[in-house]
Amino acid sequence: MIRHELQIHRKGVGITGKVTELQFAEWLERRGWEILALEALREGPDVEAVTTSVRPTALEIKSFGTEDGDFEMILRSLAGDPAGGVVSPYSAVNYLIFRIYEAAKQSAGFNGRRVAAIVIASGDWWRFKMQLENGWVDWSNATFYEQDTNWETFIRTQLPRYPSVKTEVSAMIRELDAIWIQRASGYEYHLSVETKGHGA
């Protein structure tokens, strides 16, 4: 039964990600950006935008919601079964780095500024708070932590799509002009971390 509900949850996460892209575009507009194009209407970056002081920018938006493991624990708890688990801070920060790498790969062909915009729901912020506040990642040389077996299992599933991820992650992330890590509260976004790359 959980497998069926997990499939529904994953579809919901995909839909939420698309809605987040549109909400993020609105957030940019309220800050003076002009939206040039949206992936919702054509192929290309999630959002292309420009301001009077910033040249055309491709923003690849990655939305973080409730993870599969957390969702399964919620289902077990609702059914009255024991539910709990251990959350690895290494897996969390590795996943963050991976999604930024993914954004860098997806925007690699864009002729202009490139920004990876990570949107993390307030309820999931705790997974990343300690690592971000304590500088676990050197964004000029981002690499994965290798101490976690769950992470190794996950990254192996990504190798068919990204066979060079482990060797090129640092270089790909360095090519970004900026990384924005946002904390989402309802329909509001709060820029919590901003890094600037070589082209900023």
* pLDDT over threshold 50, residue 20: yes
Cβ proximity of 58 and 81 under 8 Å: no
Q: How confident is the model at residue 19 (pLDDT cuts 50, 70, 90)?
A: confident
- How large a percentage of the chain has pLDDT more than 90? 46
Q: Which amino acid is at 27?
A: W
Identify the domain containing residue 68 by its residue range.
Answer: 2-196
Q: Which amino acid is at 43?
A: E
pLDDT at 85: 52
Query: CB under 8 Å to 85, separation ≥6 — which residues?
Result: 69, 73
pLDDT at 15: 54
Please state, in angstroms and rounded to a whole number, the distance separating the CA atoms of residues 184 and 104.
22
Q: Which three-class secondary structure state does DSSP give residue 17?
A: helix
Give the largest Cα separation in the chain, rounded: 56
pLDDT at 56: 93
Q: Which amino acid is at 99?
A: R
pLDDT at 107: 94
Q: How confident is the model at residue 75 (pLDDT cuts 50, 70, 90)?
A: very low
Q: Tens digits of per-residue pLDDT, 128-160?
A: 899 999 999 999 999 999 877 778 888 899 999
Give this prediction's pTM: 0.81
Mean pLDDT of the 40-62 span: 90
Please state, in angstroms and rounded to a whole number, the distance separating the CA atoms of residues 116 and 30.
19
Cβ proximity of 137 and 130 under 8 Å: no
Query: CB under 8 Å to 120, separation ≥6 — which residues?
Result: 64, 127, 128, 181, 182, 183, 184
Q: How confident is the model at residue 77 (pLDDT cuts 50, 70, 90)?
A: very low
* pLDDT over threshold 60, residue 120: yes
Query: CB under 8 Å to 142, separation ≥6 — which residues?
Result: 97, 100, 101, 169, 170, 173
Please list the alpha-helical segments (H only) found in 65-191: 68-78, 89-106, 126-133, 149-158, 165-174
Q: How many domains does the chain have?
A: 1
Q: How confident is the model at residue 47 (pLDDT cuts 50, 70, 90)?
A: very high
Query: CB under 8 Å to 132, separation ≥6 — which residues?
Result: 181, 192, 193
Mean pLDDT of the 44-66 span: 88
Cβ proximity of 169 and 151 under 8 Å: no
Query: E strand or H helix at 28, and its extent?
Result: helix 2-29
Please state, in angstroms and rounded to a whole number, the distance separating the CA atoms of residues 65 and 87.
15
* pLDDT over threshold 50, residue 78: no
Q: Tens digits of per-residue pLDDT, 171-182?
A: 999 999 999 999
Q: How confident is the model at residue 7 (pLDDT cuts 50, 70, 90)?
A: low
Token pair for 153: 């299992």
